[in-house]
Structure 1
Amino acid sequence: MARKRPKPEEIVSKLRQVEILMGQGMSRLDAIRQIGVVEQTYYRWRKKYGGMGADQLKELKRLQKENERLRKAVSDLTLDKLILTEAAKGKLLSPARRRACINHVRHKLRVSERRACRVLKQHRSTQRKLPKGRADEKRLVADMIELARQYGRYGYRRIAALLRDAGWQVNDKRVERLWRREGLKVPMKQPKKGRLWLNDGSCVRLRPEHRNHVWSYDFVHCRTDDGKAFRTLNVIDEYSRECLAIRVDRKLNSSDVIDVLSDLFIMRGVPSYIRSDNGPEFIAVAVQDWINAVGAKTAYIEPGSPWENGYCESFYARFRDEFLNGEVFYSLKEAQILIEEWRKHYNTKRPHSALGYKPPAPETIVQMDQRPVMH
């Protein structure tokens, strides 16, 4: 049966016993045999514990424990630093990224799951419990991708609004998460504009206050597939953001402007102001006299300052980016039909960010009274 290794206290006690026996006249070799060890063991003990008392032994044990603790702390800090270095660059904001990073660290450094989770601040239950998608998530993603394919320049907020219109009970955050997971591209946001000031210091801000308060109109140029140019005269209501009319023709002059405005005035009434740039079709004497005659006022922007007509410029950017840049027109008639279809979609279906992601003029469903008529 193997003997137990003596404790430091026992070793010091035996060394003291040898000293006492030698003091009584016994030879060193006999004294060593008296404590039951060989001579080599005695000298090894005396080299390590010789001259120590109980207090010095306690202090030695304390220092040894402190040294071991510091060595373990340095080792832990070194390992934690290796884990953080091996982790992914940047902030690990989502549980999914932390989960993947912890698996990578465990495979690379051969550390425990508990250690990696503690260093990277991931709860172990979150690490072990894999997320389960909802039962309807595949259908939702399919509908979202179909809308993104159909309206390629819409961001996730407009897609979310269209999904809600289609009957889905989803919020913007869920759509954004699925949007980014599928790798769909979010269109670049338009930078904010500063205040608009004239040279005399007066602020140019004729803000629309109600429908038919301020209308804006201007021209957009495009070409058919044969290279021939055509123009579109666009009229919008600045308050409701509704596109009132788009006239498409090879050439448009001041008489065409009066013709379009006449039809709109008959159907919708006369607005208080009509805002436009200083194009020859708009500053023509015939146009100005006709507008004044029907009771409206003109509001011309400063020359060379298209940003003062912000509502029109914003509409033209959407018109060109979402429609004109993605269509090939083989004839003028095709352009007229497709542009009119897009105008109806813009007014009745397309979510507008300035209107809380509602269309400017949504279609209404009128339910007929189904009660029987009494004769």
Structure 2
Amino acid sequence: MARGKKHSPEQVVNLLRQIEVSIANGKTTSLACKEAGITDQTYYRWRKEYGGLQVDQARRLKELEQENAKLKRIVANLSLEKLVLKDIAGGKFLSPERRRCAVNHARQVHGLSERHACLVVQQPRGTQRYRPTQREDEDALTQAIVTLAGQYGRYGYRRITALLRHAGWHVGKDRVERIWRREGLKVPQQQKPRGRLWLNDGSCVRLRPEHVNHVWSYDFVSARTYDGRTVRMLNLIDEHSRESLLVRPERRWSSAKVIEVLADVMVIKGVPQHIRSDNGPEFVARDLRKWLANTGAKTLYIEPGSPWENGYCESFNSKLRDEFLNGEIFYSMKEIRILAERWRIHYNTIRPHSSLSYRPPAPESWQGGTETGYGEVESKVRFPLPHTLDGGYLITKEAALH
């Protein structure tokens, strides 16, 4: 018998039959085994395993043994994969970097191969072996993003991207988002989506602004000084350009004061065709309506209990409260007036507005523009160096790299 030769179940059964016939003819077991080319120990082991079986039964037994071994391996692999997933994390892996770390952990701790670990974590092997390249300006850009995020705590990565572009960085929002999330910066919670603003249950059609000075809107926002006294701020905006025309804090307001501040703004900006407001007592006063009629401006009063009809001004009010009022403590009327006017100028000239392709409503220099690769208009005259609310300047790319 050749050493190491393997026999199929059919060959084993046939050899056992041959040896049994030889023994029945008077030969000894050792002689019969020698003639068959096997040892006595192999004969007794085969007889114990295949004794009494037919050829087809032996073949089926072997197939069952192979299937049983395969099932045992599958169960063992599933148990190992379950243990690996339980050891790595309890949730989904939403980024290739997290999956890459999970694959490395599975290989080091549980001894899985790279192929098996990638299969468990659902990571493509090409992605696992990819090594990201580090750009020269990565550290400087990261520092600029962290600085802006600290300065503008309520801005998301899209507005931070717009500020970086204005400061000279040629960077897309996807790269800024990747750095934003890598640094663990907070993404502001998104508001609930609202319905269309120009309809009120089909009862009226909301007049939409078509050009500058077509529709103005104004509303009051309440705040408090440090001593607990109430301050009411009158906000006036141009709905078409989104420019903030007035942010005026006062302890008390009357129709006469509203007429006074409106006159000051109209001297500079001109008279609007329409002015939209709610039905507050200062806005529906007879003296105010008569004065507006004399100037040629028409009043647009929203339906009672329908603030969404004055959506442009309500949106501005929410930004004023979220980005300014909620982060300040006011000790006097003089302080709140100075800070409110500074924030208004920043809102008009620096703050990127999402509905204007992330440009400010009234930038300090603008002489037409051309389309850029980011889908927005780039000024032919460079924007002035954007400054921050505390009087400093944004970090430009040149300054960061040098």
TM-score normalised by structure 2 residue count: 0.78
Query: Which residue does 1:247 correspond to in 2?
Result: 248
Change (3 A) 1:194 1:52: closer
CA contact (8 A) 2:215 2:274 kept: yes
Query: Which residue does 1:8 correspond to in 2?
Result: 7
Q: Secondary structure at the match of 2:246?
A: strand
Query: Which residue does 1:188 correspond to in 2?
Result: 189
Amino acid aligned to 1:205: R
Amino acid aligned to 2:259: I
Give runs of aligned pairs for residues 123-134 of structure 1, distance below 5 A. Answer: 123-134=124-135
Q: Secondary structure at the match of 1:346?
A: helix
CA distance in 2, matches of 1:221, 1:297: 26
Instruction: Give the superposition deviation at 1:232.
Output: 2.4
Amino acid aligned to 1:179: W
Q: Does 1:354 align with 2:355?
A: yes
Query: Which residue does 2:215 correspond to in 1?
Result: 214
Q: Secondary structure at the match of 2:336?
A: helix
CA distance in 1, matches of 2:286, 2:300: 15
Change (3 A) 1:40 1:131: closer
CA distance in 2, matches of 1:23, 1:17: 10
Change (3 A) 1:284 1:44: closer
Bigger CA drift: 247-256 or 11-20?
11-20
Query: Which residue does 2:89 correspond to in 1?
Result: 88
CA distance in 1, matches of 2:233, 2:14: 108
Instruction: Give the superposition deviation at 1:104.
Output: 2.6
Q: Secondary structure at the match of 1:162?
A: helix
Query: Which residue does 1:294 correspond to in 2?
Result: 295
Bigger CA drift: 68-77 or 333-342?
68-77
CA contact (8 A) 1:18 1:28 kept: yes
Q: Secondary structure at the match of 1:314?
A: helix
CA deviation profile, 1:8-45 (whole Å, cap 9, x unmatched): 37766765554555565545565456667776654444
Query: Which residue does 1:372 correspond to in 2?
Result: none
Instruction: Give the superposition deviation at 1:116.
Output: 0.8
CA contact (8 A) 2:213 2:272 kept: yes
Amino acid aligned to 1:236: I
Change (3 A) 1:269 1:7: closer
CA contact (8 A) 1:204 1:308 kept: no
Change (3 A) 1:251 1:81: closer
Bigger CA drift: 102-111 or 208-217?
102-111
Change (3 A) 1:4 1:294: same
Instruction: Give the superposition deviation at 1:71.
Output: 4.3
Instruction: Give the superposition deviation at 1:354.
Output: 1.6
Instruction: Give the superposition deviation at 1:259.
Output: 1.7
CA distance in 2, matches of 1:245, 1:32: 110
CA deviation profile, 1:305-330 (whole Å, cap 9, x unmatched): 33321111111111121112222223
Give runs of aligned pairs for residues 1-375 of structure 1, distance below 5 A. Answer: 4=3, 7-8=6-7, 15=16, 18-19=19-20, 21-22=22-23, 25-26=26-27, 31=32, 42-49=43-50, 64-195=65-196, 201-364=202-365
- Higher Cα Rg: structure 1 or 2? 1
Q: Secondary structure at the match of 1:216?
A: strand
Change (3 A) 1:253 1:48: closer
List alignment gaps of at least 5 residues for structure 1. 368-375
Instruction: Give the superposition deviation at 1:220.
Output: 2.4
Q: Secondary structure at the match of 1:232?
A: strand
Amino acid aligned to 1:133: Q
Amino acid aligned to 1:266: V
CA contact (8 A) 2:199 2:309 kept: no
Q: Secondary structure at the match of 1:8?
A: coil
Instruction: Give the superposition deviation at 1:152.
Output: 1.4
TM-score normalised by structure 1 residue count: 0.84
Bigger CA drift: 83-92 or 51-60?
51-60
Q: Secondary structure at the match of 2:140?
A: helix
CA distance in 1, matches of 2:305, 2:29: 113
Query: Matched residue pairs, number?
Result: 365
Bigger CA drift: 142-151 or 119-128?
119-128
CA contact (8 A) 2:200 2:309 kept: no
CA distance in 2, matches of 1:271, 1:37: 110
Identity of aligned residues (%): 56
Change (3 A) 1:184 1:29: closer
Larger relative contact order, structure 1 or 2 (CA cutoff 8 Å, min sep 6)? 2
> How much is the aligned-residue C-alpha RMSD, in angstroms?
3.2
